[in-house]
Structure 1
Amino acid sequence: MDPLNIPARSNLALVLARTRFLLLALLAVQSSAAQQLDSTAVDSLRFYELADVMVTATRGSDRLGDLAIPAEVLTQDDANARGATRLSDLLGEIGGYTTVHAFGTGVQVQGLGSDYTLILLDGEPVIGRTSGTLDLSRLALHDIERVEVIRGPFSSLYGSDALAGVINLISRTPTAPWQARASARIESHETTHTAVDLAMNQGGARAGLGFDGIRSGGYDLDLATPEPTTPRYTDYTANGHLAVPLTERLTWRVRGRLAQQDQREGVNVSLPPGSMPLTGLGLRTDWSAGSELEQRFASGSKVAVRLYTSRFRTETELGSVDDLLQSRFDQDYSKGEIQLDALLGTKHLVTVGGGAILEAVEADRLRGARRTSSNLFAFVQEQWLASRLFELTASARFDAHSDYARRLSPMLAALVKPHERLRLRASLGSGFKAPTFQQRYLDFTNAPAGYSVYGATDLLASLDELEAQGLVSRYESTFTSGVALRPERSFSVNAGAEGAPFDGLQVSANLFHNTVSDLIEIAPVAELTNGRQVYSYFNLDRVQTQGLELGATVSPFSALSLTARYQYLDAVDLDALEAVEAGTIYRREAGRDRPVRPSEYGGLFQRSRHSGSLELRGILARPDLTVSLRGTVRTRYGDYDRNGNLVLDDASEYVAGHALVHVTLTHGLTDWLTLQAGVTNLFDYTNPARMPSQPGRLWFGGLRLTTAAD
């Protein structure tokens, strides 16, 4: 028997459920955000600044240039110079990160979808995905010091969802004894944005409070439809953090966050004999609280105990007063974790840790309404500093989940420094993505459309109920009963180089290859006597993404930089490609069916073969003016299947390639007052039918106040 695929003990959920109350109680006496580290000053104009400190890649602190895996740091200066207020704004303008707009704004990394990238806030997961997408516009940047990005699978340290990479937002660490910041700006579409935060650093204790709010009138790209493209909404985020040294080597940290969005729309639909008022309401609330107790030792080792809990809830209403459709979704997440970092001699840094996770989801469309799951995990990492020229990092994580087979996720990475101006990197590893609650427990019937969808866990029970009622007409020939849903698995390889041939020039290149197997897809199971189709979720497909990432920054002098980034991507569904090559997938042409030619197969939807970005940033000392001119470009990509054969093969299925240009001017009027104005999508590119999330040209202007006391 494979020891990695033994079902986890069923009583694990009961044990963790009893600990949940203890976790919540201890939040008041522990602390969070272990990633608040002092870092050296960085020149934010650099594409890769080797002095940057990163905590995500090793769960410790390492200089960016000493990491063996593809990684980068985006600083607060990068966000400020662009005028970015949300994570979606920042990543959407940087080549190599493709934002996709389905169920919110997600991000593709190395061609893998947004549901394969783990999003962290101060090292803890942000929950609340819709159809796999975690909306990056939920995450405000006002109080964020830097954004750390790891490309490639990192389940070896972070578990599920880290197949494509990890994006970690690190909150600002107070440095001045007292500091206050406030900003306000207005934008197109009746949008206003305000933010304020207070911070202190007194006697070793650090604390901060922040607020970020947006109010928008929404926009409408197609006046022929009764509803707006995006309705009016308000969105605010409040957060706070505290770090207190209990002794010289013992520190307690605590952190909390509350975010809420209220979305409303009202339209009148003309129906005989008159007009029918329809309303749409949407409320999204998510909060989190975490704590950490960290003990440092004279040897340089340290141990930390972390507790974290989070909740995400949505409520929607759509329809008329007499016919109102309501929907709700409620997710809870709690985690307890311990981590030890130990120095062994002068060449080995070992990290070991483990913990437990309890999740619960309650929704209208889940069988049983409320479902829970639990997970025990342990991880280990060894960083071997073999010599000044060579470093090796190995890590692995073991997950024992209550709902699927146990998983072991290893990773190995090497760094070679043959010259002070050159670094060579190579890494390989595996990752996994757990089946979602929807894929496991969904219970949904759309009678008018004639179909039902059941989650994999309760599929057999649902079919037995239908059989007992005599409703099953036939089963699909491909249906196999009793097969448990498995996590999606990936294997990835990255190899690259980074160098500075001479002062003022930095270049980088990275080759990547990702293979994801056991992709979870929806497929037909049976047909009922009334003609209704029954669907469920199965491990079916395999996909492959591979390509090249290039980057270069030219800085002839410190006040001017030009940064270019390019990605070549080849992304295919391996099973679909084999079927096309075998001539078993057809398309209709001139009233007749014919096999799809291999040359017509366009790969995965929503992937551009070529994409890139360019930024010119200049700083004038007098007046204190920063100019940021940016552009992004992507070639055509498939939108969705139009001819019913489930592959990208027809010209009508593509969105044309396009480019976007953005300009931001930032003027430091005084030491404490900064003015900013700019425009995104300067040439007003829109595509209402295929890109409704692109609102066209947006103007903005505002000011930022900063005061600090020594």
Structure 2
Amino acid sequence: MFKKYILILFGFTALHAQTAKINGRVTDGKTGILAATVLIEGLNLLAVADENGNYIIENIPAGSYEVIAASVGYSTLRQKFTILDGETQTLDFKLQQDDESLDEVVITGTMKEVSRMDSPIPVEIITPKLFKKNPTASLFEAVGMINGVQPQLNCNVCNTGDIHINGMEGPYTMILIDGMPIVSALSTVYGLSGIPNSIVERIEVVKGPASSLYGSEAMGGIINVITKAPYKAPLVSADYFFTSWGEHSLDAAVKINAGKAKSLLGINYFNYQVKADKNHDNFTDVTQQNRISIFNKWDFEREENRQASIAGRYVYEDRWGGEMDWTPAFRGSDSIYGESIYTQRAEVIGLYQLPTAERIFTQFSYNWHNQDSYYGTTPYMATQQVAFVQAYWDKQFGDNHTFLLGAAFRYTHYDDNTPGTANENGVNRPQETPLPGVFIQDEWTLNERHKLLGGYRFDYDKNHGGVHSPRVAYKFSPNQHNTLRASFGTGFRVVNLFTEDHAALTGSRDVVIAEELKPERSLNGNLNYVLKIPTDAFVLGLDATAFYSYFTNKIVGDFDTDPTKIIYDNLNGHAISQGLSLNTDLTFNFPLKVMAGISYMDVFQMEENENGSLQRTQQLHAPKWSGNYVATYSFPNNYSIDLTGNWYGPMRLPILPNDYRPEYSPWFLTANIQATKKFDNGLEFYGGVKNIFDFVPGDPLMRPFDPFDQHVNDPVNNPNGYTFDTTYNYASMQGRRVFLGVRYNLF
């Protein structure tokens, strides 16, 4: 059982002995809302409601304030009140369900809890309620429901992929779990696979560089997976679905109470063992996968509501793709082609608030990632370990300044079987990369309408030296219906060359670094405008953003100048990512809700050619136009229908010299439909169709009949010298499929 309330004090106001307080109940009109937050703005006093929706906030100085009540999946309520010394007031809140347009507390933009509406940094959110409208077996696919975020498959055989934000490649996206940067480099393609959906509270996305708080790799943006606090979770939850293609996905969690500690144990299991070859090229259309992930998080009750938690995750996956008659007996052989990847991963993350009057937090994480793989006859064996520790001081100065000061240290150990981790004599030499840094931030509330944020970070890399990353953000809210945000900042990335180009770094090529490489840098600016239009018939929300990023020192590998070498150098030029995005959400006074987004982006690089002039090259897999939509209609008796989909304009694809395949993909749309029936006992059934219009690309593999390139030198049958190629990809080869599932939640 929960205590009557959980109270978390922010700031230093607890030193002043005040007796005024407010209490009350947060409900949906019928029942209390567990873990709803009640925040007194300006004082940064926050209470979390118990299982009955009851809350209490004490030690309130006399004065006039605005209180904010919020919860995931509900609209936010604001109410002004005036309180005297020694007075007790009762304030009750009735929240309306609002699954898609959320305004709850977020942390990613500023590394601390703040109302999404009040954050000077724009943060986009998806919650389980949203991505359950199109159920997926991993969060890798789920994040595609955010406009401008593109899950991109990079190989048609092994189906590994990464996340693109505003057209920038996967290595420019930092993936966090509970604010810890534990997914990077070697593990990027597995970062969002195998995280149990049942333990996810929400996913927060910040687009554009955020290096002043999070350091290297946060150049393109951040995806922060916020896991549920055990006290917020149901006692038992389970979600199982299967598809007509033979996929099986199970997601389950259980809450455990152990005295002053509470635990959440989650498991995710995905299995797909049906070989499909719909395009008759003798290769699997979708990789066979067998994956299990176990997650366990503990929260500890401490005096004065100080925070302490620790969590761990283990992932094992066996995946393979290749010729239809491949079996594990042919792993690494040259008779039947297959790509087989065994992956093991272990993670530990923790948070501990020091027992001091000041709010000082320490965070730590460690992850171990092992990959045992064969790409045809080419082995790739790699191990990566990343340790991270961080401490920061969260301080309120007066009524207007919220201050953050911290230091961080990340250590990366990487080893593989390629020339990338060997010295000039061929002796194995694992890479060791220490990266210390310090950061500072101040959020200055000028008045009710104006807020200014300034931040700065300094990191030191043993190869690149000191790296400076400042940023500034401004928010103007003339009223509750209009909000304007503007921000400018820099980003940087200390590149681990060989974990990103491992497929090319096999064999006997010599690795040549042409010059002392500089860290990749970026300058970024964006302008965000949010408008809410309430009418008698509907409520319309508009969220428009213009973004521009200028990248220098981009590190590229030259594989063509000398076939015996890979030459690494900084780009002799610059790269640009620019564009516009618009998100809309429309809630009618009848039970229909619609969300839609559209993005235009232009991502390219300008490089000096042999004539000394700049030559423009469009970024691969970065469509200029893209968008998504979600529409939900609710019927009586807890029936509902969801329509979801994504569409993409032409994107540039990797082609071979004299390739007969088009360099740009066509316009295409993937659409899905789902029907759901919910019962009052926590049970619900759902089913639908994915990829309704059965869109699949053409034949993406080059020369699938000769995967070992045994006959490429045949001038009669192969006059263009084509080689086996798996990288020509812009959409999944998985066509239309029916799915059925069941969910259960017991509180």
Common fold: TM-score over 0.5: yes
Question: Cα 1:642–1:37, aligned 2, differ >3 Å: closer, same or farther?
Answer: farther
* Deviation of 1:311 (Å): 0.8
Within 5 A, what are the aligned runs for 1:60-209? 60-102=112-154, 104-127=160-183, 129-130=185-186, 133=189, 136-175=192-231, 179-200=235-256, 205-209=261-265
**Does 1:316 find its partner at 2:373?**
yes
- Distance in 1, matches of 2:378 and 2:597, equals 46
- Distance in 1, matches of 2:345 and 2:192, equals 14
- 1:414–1:425 contact (8 Å) kept in structure 2: yes
Question: Cα 1:663–1:224, aligned 2, differ >3 Å: closer, same or farther?
Answer: closer
Question: Cα 1:220–1:71, aligned 2, differ >3 Å: closer, same or farther?
Answer: same
Question: Cα 1:624–1:525, aligned 2, differ >3 Å: closer, same or farther?
Answer: closer
Give the match for residue 507 of structure 1.
542
Question: Cα 1:41–1:141, aligned 2, differ >3 Å: closer, same or farther?
Answer: closer
Higher relative contact order (CA 8 A, sep 6+): 1
Question: Cα 1:375–1:218, aligned 2, differ >3 Å: closer, same or farther?
Answer: farther
**Does 1:433 find its partner at 2:433?**
no
Structure 2 residue identity aligned to 1:397: R
* Deviation of 1:140 (Å): 3.8
- 1:339–1:351 contact (8 Å) kept in structure 2: yes
Equivalent position to 2:364, from 277, 284, 307: 307
Equivalent position to 1:283, from 335, 342, 348: 342
Q: Which runs of 5+ in 1 are unaligned?
A: 1-35, 457-479, 586-600
**Does 1:639 find its partner at 2:695?**
no
TM-score by length of 1: 0.79
* Deviation of 1:546 (Å): 0.9
**Does 1:56 find its partner at 2:108?**
yes
- Distance in 1, matches of 2:435 and 2:478, equals 43
Question: Cα 1:389–1:223, aligned 2, differ >3 Å: closer, same or farther?
Answer: closer
The CA deviation string for residues 520-540 of structure 1, in whole angstroms up to 9 with x for no partner, is 11126985xxxx532221111
- 1:112–1:545 contact (8 Å) kept in structure 2: yes
The CA deviation string for residues 20-65 of structure 1, in whole angstroms up to 9 with x for no partner, is xxxxxxxxxxxxxxxx995624337565433x11111111101111
Report how many aligned residue pairs link the two structures.
609
Within 5 A, what are the aligned runs for 1:102-501? 102=154, 104-127=160-183, 129-130=185-186, 133=189, 136-175=192-231, 179-200=235-256, 205-221=261-277, 224-264=280-320, 268=325, 276=335, 281-295=340-354, 301-317=358-374, 325-365=378-418, 366-367=421-422, 368-438=428-498, 452-454=509-511, 456=513, 483-501=515-533
The CA deviation string for residues 165-194 of structure 1, in whole angstroms up to 9 with x for no partner, is 111001112346960112221113221111
Sequence identity, in percent? Answer: 19
- 2:672–2:692 contact (8 Å) kept in structure 1: yes
- Distance in 2, matches of 1:623 and 1:635, equals 40
Question: Cα 1:134–1:521, aligned 2, differ >3 Å: closer, same or farther?
Answer: farther
- 1:177–1:200 contact (8 Å) kept in structure 2: no
- 2:177–2:224 contact (8 Å) kept in structure 1: yes
- 1:341–1:351 contact (8 Å) kept in structure 2: yes
Which is further off, 78-87 or 369-378?
78-87
Give the match for residue 21 of structure 1.
none
Give the match for residue 556 of structure 1.
588
- 1:178–1:201 contact (8 Å) kept in structure 2: no
* Deviation of 1:312 (Å): 0.9
Structure 2 residue identity aligned to 1:358: Y
Which is further off, 435-444 or 602-611?
435-444
**Does 1:615 find its partner at 2:630?**
yes
- Distance in 2, matches of 1:557 and 1:37, equals 32
* Deviation of 1:110 (Å): 1.9
- 1:268–1:278 contact (8 Å) kept in structure 2: no
- Distance in 1, matches of 2:230 and 2:350, equals 18
* Deviation of 1:498 (Å): 0.3
Question: Cα 1:638–1:185, aligned 2, differ >3 Å: closer, same or farther?
Answer: same
Question: Cα 1:434–1:455, aligned 2, differ >3 Å: closer, same or farther?
Answer: farther
**Does 1:653 find its partner at 2:663?**
yes
Q: C-alpha root-mean-square deviation of aligned residues, in Å?
A: 3.1
- Distance in 2, matches of 1:343 and 1:192, equals 49
TM-score by length of 2: 0.76
Matched position secondary structure for 1:435: coil
Matched position secondary structure for 1:608: coil
Q: Which runs of 5+ in 2 are unaligned?
A: 1-45, 49-69, 75-96, 423-427, 701-727
* Deviation of 1:249 (Å): 4.0
Structure 2 residue identity aligned to 1:116: Y
- 1:513–1:545 contact (8 Å) kept in structure 2: yes
Question: Cα 1:664–1:439, aligned 2, differ >3 Å: closer, same or farther?
Answer: closer
* Deviation of 1:90 (Å): 1.6
- Distance in 1, matches of 2:736 and 2:272, equals 15
* Deviation of 1:203 (Å): 6.3
- Distance in 2, matches of 1:296 and 1:170, equals 24
Question: Cα 1:579–1:419, aligned 2, differ >3 Å: closer, same or farther?
Answer: farther
Give the match for residue 737 of structure 2.
698
- 1:520–1:538 contact (8 Å) kept in structure 2: yes
The CA deviation string for residues 645-701 of structure 1, in whole angstroms up to 9 with x for no partner, is 9xxxx9921111111111122211342211111221111100141446331112211
**Does 1:663 find its partner at 2:723?**
no
Structure 2 residue identity aligned to 1:515: Y
The CA deviation string for residues 616-663 of structure 1, in whole angstroms up to 9 with x for no partner, is 11222x321221101221111111144479xxxx99211111111111
Give the match for residue 688 of structure 2.
678
* Deviation of 1:67 (Å): 1.5
- Distance in 2, matches of 1:129 and 1:279, equals 24
Matched position secondary structure for 2:303: coil
- Distance in 2, matches of 1:445 and 1:80, equals 40
Structure 1 residue identity aligned to 2:270: I
Structure 2 residue identity aligned to 1:392: L
- Distance in 2, matches of 1:37 and 1:57, equals 21
The CA deviation string for residues 83-120 of structure 1, in whole angstroms up to 9 with x for no partner, is 23422222223322122111523222122222111001
* Deviation of 1:201 (Å): 5.6
* Deviation of 1:267 (Å): 5.1
- Distance in 2, matches of 1:82 and 1:440, equals 31
Question: Cα 1:268–1:235, aligned 2, differ >3 Å: closer, same or farther?
Answer: closer
Give the match for residue 536 of structure 1.
567
Question: Cα 1:502–1:250, aligned 2, differ >3 Å: closer, same or farther?
Answer: closer
Matched position secondary structure for 2:597: strand
Matched position secondary structure for 2:399: coil
- Distance in 1, matches of 2:232 and 2:350, equals 23
- Distance in 1, matches of 2:193 and 2:184, equals 13
- 2:498–2:505 contact (8 Å) kept in structure 1: no
